[in-house]
Amino acid sequence: MMFMKALLLAVITGLTGAFLIPAVSTTRSTTNTQQLFATVVSDSSTIGTVGNGYTPVLLAKLSALTHEKGKSWIITPAADVEMMKQLAALDEFGKLPENLEFVAASDTDRVEELLQETDALMVAIDDVDSVVDPSVISYLLDPQKVNNLKRVVAMSRNLNGDGMGMLVTASKRAANAQVWDNSNAAAYRSFETNLKDAAKNCGADWTIVRAGTLKGGACGENNLYPQYLAESFYDITKNDILKWQLLFDCNIRGVKLRKGDVMSGPGVKAVFTATGSEEHVGDSSRSGVAEAMVRSLAREDTENVDFGVGTVASREPPSDEEWSQMFEQCLSN
């Protein structure tokens, strides 16, 4: 038990550390709930989230908002609870979704209690140099613990190698340490295999959602889209006077989906796109990735498939109808 507490604490390091320190080092629009949860999970389902960085907080928040009669829970280290709550707030007064629970990573009794009633589990790590340790996957997806699990949705990366190379790696070193340059592809492939096998052993389906370089993920100016991370995200991630993450969110609300592992990296333009706030090949919006993961839970056609999430220049996020059309077009190919 002490070993598992240590593993959970290791995989869920600090939020700010997600941009600087590996979690587990390797070698190298408000949603329509009735429509969303009509098939795989219901409006009263319990959805768990585990991981490291900003994306898991966004996943847990979106999950809570999209099934108000159910429960959304997320594992967190004690030191980061207040920051995570701040990021998940719905308004400037710190109001949180009533059905969102922050579970201490050290409280394995509560974690296992929740796992027993969990219908779906989402896994995501922001840090490009880290993946979830296989022992943590085995612990969370133990058939003896997860009696109701129907689906596991995991964020992975674009692993095909297109649009990668020296210039992409240089942009990661010089401009943005979270540029995805495919240097950790082997670890991610292993992570995907471990997760699929563990889900199968639990009798659950899996979905892999692929991302490139993660950017943005918050509400924009004046809490324009409160379903996403709070405006404090821009202050936390600011590394100079210019809040480029805010500019990105203002310009890039659109999303595109592609089935399989087919999306490309930025190629020779990498140095110019590393902190770019326009539509660029190789980028993925945290908001788009999180929406795709949560919405995939509702669809039977996302069972045991993988798809990538890219960006489209737009001031508004896709509507429910547009999301449905994107999924249908993506998965019918």
Over residues 183-203, mean pLDDT? 97
User: What is the share, in percent, of the chain residues with pLDDT greater than 70?
Assistant: 88
pLDDT > 90: percent of the chain:
82
Residues 80, 145: contact at Cβ < 8 Å?
Answer: no
At residue 44 the predicted structure's pLDDT band, cuts being 50, 70 and 90, is confident
Residue 7 has pLDDT above 70, yes or no: no
Q: How many Å apart are CA 330 and CA 295, to the nearest integer? A: 14
Listed range (25-29, 197-201, 329-333) with the worst mean pLDDT: 25-29
Residue with more model confidence, 201 or 41: 201
What pLDDT is recorded for position 159? 98
Note the pTM of the prediction, 2 decimals: 0.91
Q: 173-178 — which CB contacts under 8 Å span 24+ positions? A: 174/271, 174/274, 175/271, 175/274, 175/275, 176/213, 176/274, 176/275, 177/19, 177/20, 177/128, 178/19, 178/126, 178/127, 178/128, 178/213, 178/214
**Which one has a higher pLDDT value, 67 or 256?**
256
Q: What backbone phi and psi angles, to 5 degrees, belong to 314?
A: -170, 145
Q: Is the pLDDT of residue 226 over 60?
A: yes
Model confidence at 5, pLDDT cuts 50, 70, 90, reads: low
Residues 6+ apart with CB under 8 A from 258: 307, 308, 310, 330
- Provide the pLDDT for residue 2: 58
Residue 167 phi, psi dihedral angles, 5° rounding = -70, -35
Q: Name the residue with higher pLDDT: 247 or 28.
A: 247
* Residue 317 main-chain phi, psi, to 5 deg: -70, 160
**Do the beta carbons of residue 317 and residue 287 sit within 8 Å?**
yes
CA–CA distances in Å: residue 296 to residues 83, 103, 301, 331 = 27, 24, 8, 11
| 65 or 40, higher pLDDT | 65
* H-type alpha helices, the chain: 2-11, 33-36, 54-66, 81-88, 108-117, 134-140, 166-174, 185-201, 232-237, 244-251, 270-273, 286-296, 320-331
Q: Residues 232-248: what's their mean pLDDT?
A: 89
What does the pLDDT read at residue 67? 84
Say how far apart CA 273 and CA 243 lie, in whole Å: 15
pLDDT given for residue 239 in this prediction: 78
Is the pLDDT confidence value at 232 over 60? yes
Three-state secondary-structure class, residue 314: strand
Q: How many CB atoms lie within 10 A of CB 168?
A: 25
Q: What is the amino acid identity at position 84?
A: M
Q: How confident is the model at residue 12 (pLDDT cuts 50, 70, 90)?
A: low
- Bigger pLDDT: 177 or 240? 177
